[in-house]
Amino acid sequence: MQQLLLAVVLAVAAVVVAAVLRRRQRPAAPTQPRYRAPDQLDRSDFCRPDAPYLVAVFTSATCQSCAAMAGKAAVLTSAQVAVDVLEVTEQPALHRKYAIDAVPLVVVADARGVVGASFIGPVSATDLWAAVAEVREPGSSPEPDLGR
């Protein structure tokens, strides 16, 4: 009888200790989404597919910083660089095709569509222009890892 009573007391103590430890543990924070830029573009999806370089700016009309990013990118337009601004309600198929789930998103691609630099969210004009220069001519930027 004493052994049975001792076993019951030990079992109750173990349950109490387990309950106290469980309450002390904090639940894991919810997983945060990780936005990604595409690694490859089909240049025929964008304006001037014959241009050696493309700056694609994925935007939304409801995004305040998107218009500023489009303006910063527009200055880069030249014979060598095509700039295409893709607003989600005007180009929903491209946003879906490239799984764009955050804007503004800027990608810099070469003639084959290989993305050499990308930015999710607002970026300074200086950093954007330096990243384009680095994609066009590796080693030309003092910060060669911008947009990577």
Which CA distances in Å does 40 have to 1, 69, 76, 87, 124? 75, 21, 20, 19, 23
Please give the model's pTM, rounded to 2 decimal places: 0.76
Tens of pLDDT along 68-82?
999 999 999 999 999
* Contact indicator for 105, 58 with CB cutoff of 8 Å: yes
- The label of the residue with tokens 């030990």 reads 10
User: Looking at the domain assignment, is residue 95 inside a domain?
Assistant: yes
100 domain residue, yes or no: yes
Domain assignment present for residue 108? The answer is yes
Dist. CA 120–CA 93, nearest whole Å: 19
Each residue's pLDDT tens digit, 90-122: 999 999 999 999 999 999 999 999 999 999 999
Instruction: Answer whether residue 82 is part of any domain.
Output: yes
Structural domains of the chain, count: 1
What is the spatial distance between Cα 11 and Cα 58, in angstroms, rounded to a whole number? 61
Q: Let me know if residue 111 belongs to a domain.
A: yes
Domain that holds residue 99: 43-136
Does residue 147 belong to any structural domain of this protein?
no
pLDDT of residue 146: 62
**Mind spelling out the 3-state secondary structure of 21-84?**
HHHHCCCCCCCCCCCCCCCECCHHHCCCCCCCEEEEEEECCCCHHHHHHHHHHHCCCCCCEEEE
Q: What is the CATH number of the domain that holds 76?
A: 3.40.30.10
Return the beta strands (E) in the chain as ranges.
Answer: 53-59, 81-87, 105-110, 115-120
Residue pair 118/136 in contact by the 8 Å Cβ criterion: no
Confidence of residue 33 (pLDDT cuts 50, 70, 90): low
The pLDDT mean for the chain works out to 88
Residue 3 belongs to some domain of the structure: no
* Residue 75 located in a structural domain: yes
